[in-house]
Amino acid sequence: MQLDDIKKIAVIGAGNMGHQIALNAAICGFKVICTDINPETLAKAKRFVDDYLPGRVTKGRLTTEQAAFARENIRFVGKLEDAVGDADYVIEAALEVLDIKRAIFADLDRLAPCHAILASNSSSIVSSKIADATRRQDKVLNVHFFNPALVMKLVEVVQGPHVSDETAQLSLQLCRKLNKEPVHLKKEVHGFLLNRIFGAIGREANWLHEMGVASIEDIDKACMHGAGHPMGPFRLNDLTGLDLSYTLHMEAFRESGNPADLPPPSLVEHYIKGEYGEKTGKGWYDYRESTKDS
């Protein structure tokens, strides 16, 4: 398969990452179908698209014709078979739980055309743990977008030992056509590239906070004004979701059995309270008062 042969893209999971990946592909000219098992999530994703595109026109980022073209390119459906039946490339953006992903990929292998590449947007679960749920292991890889997917340029294309060079190179080409800047990881490693770097920063930031060395505000300030980061690790965690961080910590612990992989106590406390960050109004920071003031 060549890049020009990729006409239709299916995105599995219509949550924040999934619907933004889908819309980005639609804006770039691909026919896209996004699916989710949750009707409310699908409805929310559709509302996002219907609000986002006119907003881009108002801001002068898209013409009326470009917005209409993108809207025509994207559909939301509730059945997996309707989404992937004629897809050339599939991107899974479901929960970060291995058993769930394996079940999805087994279904994708059964329902998608034999030429279709099956990519996982997982930020931590390597594709070699998923590929053997299919009969096309050479076409199963990680293609990891970053949040928010409509804005962030970086995409990590991870080539495990089972992935063919053709699949990896075609995925890199596709990312460029999606107006992204892909990086090629030639080996699988937990956390991939950027999250390993952020993970090291995050561990140190959490240790400094847990030990009472500095406040989360001052730790974030140090990273912003000293290291030039656009936002500090705690503010970034509020954006990406403390629930995701908790899940990733627990998945790592289940695999390794190493207590060092467990989430730090303060993260557990926020998770138990349902304080996941911006999306719940409170995480490391409290966003409820600023919402009232605006």
- d(C-alpha 124, C-alpha 188), whole Å: 10
Catalytic residue, from 16, 24, 122, 123: name it: 123
DSSP assignment of 169-185: HHHHHHHHHTT-EEEEE
Beta bridge partners of 10: 33, 90
Residue 156 known to be catalytic: yes
Catalytic residue, from 92, 156, 188, 251: name it: 156
- d(C-alpha 227, C-alpha 143), whole Å: 28
- d(C-alpha 276, C-alpha 279), whole Å: 7
Residue 258 known to be catalytic: no
Strands in 31-35's sheet, in edge-to-edge order, are 74-77, 31-35, 8-12, 89-92, 117-120, 140-145, 154-158, 181-185
- d(C-alpha 284, C-alpha 235), whole Å: 7
Determine contact, residues 270/284, Cβ cutoff 8 Å.
Answer: yes
* DSSP helix/strand/coil, 110: helix
Catalytic residue, from 24, 122, 144, 249: name it: 144
Residue 181 known to be catalytic: no
Beta-strand relationship, 89-92 and 8-12: parallel
Catalytic residue, from 164, 195, 229, 255: name it: 195
Active site residues: 123, 144, 156, 195
